[in-house]
Amino acid sequence: MPELEIREEQAADRPTIHAVTEAAFRHMPYADGDEQDVIERLRAALALTLSLVAVENSKVIGQVTFSPATITEGTGPWFALGPVSVAPSRQGCGVGSALIAEGLARITALGALGCILTGNPDYYSRFGFHIAPQNTPDNESAIYFQLKLISGAQPAGRFCFHPAFYGDS
């Protein structure tokens, strides 16, 4: 099996990141179909805190995005995970898990209090995420909104993803 390299995105990776993300979410029933555009809007808004790519045989096969998140109580820094995408031919092989684990380690080094996301609880619980209905943003589903505490106590407020998630910048 070829060795997997995880590194920060480079400008030359951007078209491939777009293509891999679009392909990864194309037939997913929970996807909005704009995940690749979310990444581009975050990048344009200078809100792409961390973009890691998985490279195999010199080819980008996956990507994970971390962006700033806010909470009404005003604590921070908080980060949002997502989208995370893996080329369909490489899904189920641990690429997404490797990207997420590396990204979480890097935001921890940045002093993150924690990380939020909206996604499949069965998948993300393996990384320490738990459902947090009391912290769910107004425009997200409480059954999929999750939080991973990295340091500090359970926050009391409601989170907000960066406006680029919703088409604003």
Q: State the alpha helices, DSSP H only, in the chain.
A: 14-25, 35-44, 95-109, 121-124
- The pLDDT score that the predictor gives to residue 31 is 61
Q: Yes or no: say if 145 and 133 are a contact pair by the CB < 8 Å rule.
A: yes
Q: What is the pLDDT along the chain (169 residues), one digit of tens a residue?
A: 568 999 999 999 999 999 999 999 887 655 677 889 999 999 999 999 999 999 999 999 999 999 999 999 999 999 999 999 999 999 999 999 999 999 999 999 999 999 999 988 999 999 999 999 999 999 898 999 999 999 988 999 999 999 998 886 5
- What domain count does the chain have? 1
pLDDT per residue as tens digits for the range 129-143: 999 999 999 989 899
Q: How many CB atoms lie within 10 A of CB 46?
A: 9
Question: In terms of C-beta density within 10 A (0-12 exposed, 13-18 middle, 19 or more buried), how is residue 32 classed?
Answer: exposed
- Residue 9 to residue 48: CA distance in whole angstroms: 11
What is the residue range of 85's domain? 4-166
CATH, residue 154: 3.40.630.30
pTM of the entire structure? 0.94
- The pLDDT score that the predictor gives to residue 30 is 59
